[in-house]
A and B are shown apart, each in its own frame.
Chain A
């Protein structure tokens, strides 16, 4: 790569990531006439928000009675009481407004007969603080993510947002006082290096589903922003909580939306039983995701799976009207036909719990400011740095995310981060003097892949890492297995230092991109296994066979993992909401 020819560009704000979170923030900023640069390693509409299916939660009450307070209760309970209740109140209160805005942006929501937005029931939703099933998920058929992402991109075209499409962000630039000053990026098409100087930087790089072998996540979901933050000295929060979605296509990983169960689908085991009735007598198939995934895994472990090897469960939709499937679930029908040669209107779908969502991430407050402990204060804002979306941890999802709450999260906090940035920009009129040593450090990381000679292969390491994460940090965990996971991932991280690539060309060098991505996901894997080994209780998605119970006395706290010395720290859960009474921890029954 050309070390001499580096371009320096200046913007008010840099946004890394053009998924729903990044684009919602960009739109707010562009409309406020801030100069904003959006950097994305893929063309914006190829970001993985495009794959979201089922919908976005908001208590619009278009189908049945509902209000934000019930939504808040469900989210707190769903989080297994680890979510921060101030942020959750903020999100649930903002939900309706944010969805109406989306509609005004042009999102082609499905419609009810009276012309209002269509809503469907989703898991973990209730009326009246734990009562009957609510109907809260606003949907555009089963292509809600596509509809939202494209509409947001389109509105950004109107607002004339400045895009850097197919540019890869390498590292943040940080000065001696700890202010974040932008990032070093390179143009994947040409290999040209650019330093974007910005008064504020927002990380919206999405999740890290590529930690695991079978995943609903895209190949680009490699946790880059999380790793960049770690390298800038910021911890990652609650990384032990990784969501396994109950219904990925067995062996392949494509998602079958929870909306399929919302529309009336249900699960059966090898004996033909509707086993969810045993595990969740009220909510049944629409219990929270962690509950359904564990139930499926238990059925299979106890020999009641389906098929010749009893290694999957069936999702039945064939009792539904064909017109319901065509109208409400056309996307998953197409996916089943393509990947299984099966029409769900006629035959049940083989499914298995599949890696899906990163609950943990870069710690932020509800204004999107990245926060880190400084001396005795648990949460001090990192100057100039913001984060929103799946890469961030606000934390509204706590130990387990409810379906339909992530699209809401990315929109609400993308928007609120942008609003906070706008006030910051009014106070900070000028760019600070760029700190060159930090630029040099980022360059070093990039040029390290120009090294020639023999060494470990990136492909080999990636495969081994996913295998370790599957085996040592999956649905069920024990101390022994997790400690082994730490040893194995650490060994891989060590071998990573000797990795080389053969391709050193500048033009669209995908080998280099994949190497940088592997480095990132390796750092995120370390954070995940270390955090999981530290938490000796079972809560939400973190399910310890050796510590089967939730322990509210010792563990109502967030985990923080620091790259330096690979150390673990904790900070309290924010149990005090903004205006209503706190929801104290209760046993979680669905």
Chain B
């Protein structure tokens, strides 16, 4: 199997180039991360992030044959050769497949992604019915891999003004939590033409999310909440 990988080390290279690697032995069940690890044994200068190897840490987001995804849960058998691998698009490249995610994290922090309580806390747990808890399914599982936001054209054009699908999914996660007590502040903070309303329901984010989450739906729910609030 052949791999065409984006290479760029700003210390050495004047501009990015594509390097080809060949893997002779592809075993059944092998994931793209397994292949990258073997390639890195041959060429230790190849840079990419990775940690858990099972799709829970969100480290190894990359653009694989034109689609964003996590290398560790992408089966080689699902890919056509040569596999073209690029860094996630839209954010600055630090080196090879490693992007600078500062802007992505900034937008995440901007939605105040933490539970807020105004009343004193009880000695035991805050009660939440299974039905109320079900509303968090599909929202809390995000691994912050940035596959979605870096596939979103609105985020590409305005990464500093539009929050992007990942951050908005988090905003939704706290708006939907029956325990949170800042609903109106959260909604107010999302007003204006950019932060939320730059989403044009293009749905790229939904197609790429490796955790099968649906930011577009979460964004739709927030828009609905805003409408009911103004009525």
Contacts and interface: CB of A to CB of B under 8 A. Distances in A.
Interface of A: 42-43, 45-48, 50-51, 99-100, 103-106, 108-117, 140, 143, 146-147, 150-151, 154-155, 157-158, 189, 218-220, 252, 254, 331, 334-335, 338-341, 458-459, 501-503, 505-511, 514
Nearest to B96: A508
Contacts of B112: 157-158
Contact of A459 (B9, B11, B41, B58): B41
Nearest to A503: B45
B44 A507 contact: no
A103 B126 contact: yes
Contacts of A46: 51-52, 57-59
A157 B40 CA distance: 35
A219 B51 contact: yes
Contact of A112 (B9, B41, B130): B130
Given A51-B52, A339-B29, A511-B45, A108 B136 contact: yes
Contacts of A42: 49, 51, 57, 59
11 contacts: A48-B52, A48-B57, A50-B52, A100-B125, A117-B125, A189-B94, A218-B53, A219-B50, A340-B29, A501-B44, A514-B44
B143 interface: yes
A45 B54 contact: no
A218 B58 contact: no
Contacts of B58: 45-46
Nearest to B136: A108
Interface of B: 9-12, 29, 31, 40-41, 44-45, 47-59, 73, 75, 94-96, 98, 100-101, 105, 109, 112-115, 117, 121, 123-130, 132-133, 136, 140-141, 143-144, 174, 177, 179-180
B127 A115 contact: yes
A427 B10 CA distance: 47
A218 B52 contact: yes
Contacts of B124: 100, 116
Contacts of B101: 43
B115 A111 contact: no
Contact of B57 (A218, A335, A503, A509): A218
Nearest to B211: A334
Contacts of B96: 508
Given A147-B140, A507-B94, A51 B11 contact: no
Q: Top 4 nearest A-B pairs by Cβ distance?
A: A106-B115, A115-B127, A154-B114, A46-B57
Contacts of A155: 114
Contacts of A114: 127
B123 A100 contact: yes
A97 B143 CA distance: 27
Contacts of A154: 113-115
Contacts of A147: 140
Given A104-B117, A108-B177, A116-B125, A51 B133 contact: no
A219 B33 CA distance: 12
A193 B44 CA distance: 22
A338 to B, nearest CB: 5
A79 B47 CA distance: 42
Nearest to A191: B11
A92 to B, nearest CB: 18
Count chain A CB atoms within 10 A of each CB in B11, B57, B123, B179 and give the residue with the most: B57
B53 A505 contact: no
Q: Which of A109, A114, A459, A507 has the most CB of B within 10 A?
A: A507
B47 A510 contact: yes
Given A189-B94, A458-B44, A51 B54 contact: yes
Interface centre among A155, A502, A503, by most chain B C-beta atoms within 10 angstroms, is A503
Given A42-B59, A146-B56, A115 B50 contact: no
B115 A105 contact: yes
Contact of B130 (A48, A103, A111, A157): A111
A138 B75 CA distance: 33
Nearest to A337: B73
Contact of B45 (A47, A146, A502, A506): A502
A53 to B, nearest CB: 9
B177 A106 contact: yes
Contact of B114 (A106, A111, A503): A106
Nearest to A150: B140
A458 B95 CA distance: 21
B54 A254 contact: yes
A523 B25 CA distance: 33
A220 B57 CA distance: 11
Given A50-B56, A335-B55, 13 more contacts: A43-B144, A45-B57, A51-B52, A51-B54, A100-B125, A106-B180, A108-B136, A146-B56, A150-B140, A254-B53, A506-B11, A507-B9, A508-B98
Given A45-B58, A218-B57, A508-B98, A338 B109 contact: no
A51 B56 contact: yes
A331 B127 CA distance: 24
A280 to B, nearest CB: 29
B45 A508 contact: no
Contact of A111 (B75, B129, B140, B141): B129
Contacts of B54: 51, 254, 335, 338-339
Contact of B115 (A146, A151, A340, A502): A151
A38 to B, nearest CB: 15
A146 B44 contact: no
Contacts of B49: 42
A104 B51 contact: no
